Every structure is written in C-alpha cells, then in structure tokens.
Amino acid sequence: MNDPMMRLKVEDFLYAEAALLDEWRVDAWFALFAEGATYEVPPMGAEADADSSTSLFYIADDYTRLRERVVRLTNKEAHSEYPRSRLRHVVSNVRVLGVTNGVAEVACNFITYRARRGVVDTYFGRHEYRIDVSGDSWKIRSKRTTLDMDMLYPGKLSVIV
C-alpha cells in the first residue's frame, strides 16, 4: 500500500502505544485493544504461521488474559515488576501492508530496552498488527510480536515488548 498519510497516522498510533508502555500506563495501553483482541509472542524459531492454539507460545493472550496481565503488572505484589522496570520502546520501519474492510495490516521493527537493578536487557524483532482504522478511535484487533534474538534469558519477559 502506498498511502503516505495512512502510514503517518499508523506511525503516530504506534508511537503513542510505545509511549504508554514507556510511561507504564498499561491501563491506557490495554484500552487501545478492541474487545476480542489477541496479543501473541511465539517462541523464537517458530514458523511464521505457528498457531497458539496448537503450539506453546511465550504469550498467547486473548482479551480476558490480556486484561488480567495488565492487572497483575500494576499490582505491587507482582514481584517481577515492583519496583517497575525502566523501559524504552523504539518503533521503526513501519509499513502498512494493506487495508481491507477498515482493518489495516501493519508491520514494524522494534527494540525494547529494559533496565532493572543495574541490568539492561534488549529485546528486538518485529510486530505485526491488525488495527481497526474505520472509526475515530482506532483499536488493535491483534498484535503478534516475533523476537529475533537467539535466546531469551530465563524470567526476563515480564514486561510488554
């Protein structure tokens, strides 16, 4: 798709999503998702068409599980994120692959830095979105994050990449 205005709007939307996560406004981040949305992070090395209903994923959240994840992350008893990590989400190479019936297929690269207790972890890879762009308030219908690292350190995926 070659619509520069749509790409700019999508970029602004993704930058706003990244800012919400950096500011740990995870309730507002969750509000970006449409009811029935999914958020998935397949294991490294998984096939591009891997299905979370038949394969084990790092994260395979439906809308209800995603809401529960947000509640857990904002709870002071969530020891993995209390005190919370310092985060910086970088989004680049945004491409709108197409728009069908008001839903944009979007891909972008990302790097997420996480600093906690003197250690900085770096996550990088690709996000693929289906974003409902038909109304005034855009909503994420699905987000799939593919990590491009060669290994994931144990217990280190407690943040939203």
CB–CB of 130/140 below 8 Å? yes
More confident residue, 37 or 86: 37
* pLDDT score of 160: 78
Is the pTM higher than 0.85? The answer reads yes
* Per-domain boundaries in the chain: 4-147
What is the rounded distance in angstroms from the CA atom of residue 66 to the CA atom of residue 26? 11
More confident residue, 46 or 28: 28
Which residues on adjacent β-strands are paired with residue 33? 140
CATH code linked to domain 4-147: 3.10.450.50
| Per-state percent for the chain, helix, strand, coil, to nearest 5 | 25, 40, 35
Percentage of the residues of the chain whose pLDDT score is greater than 90: 58
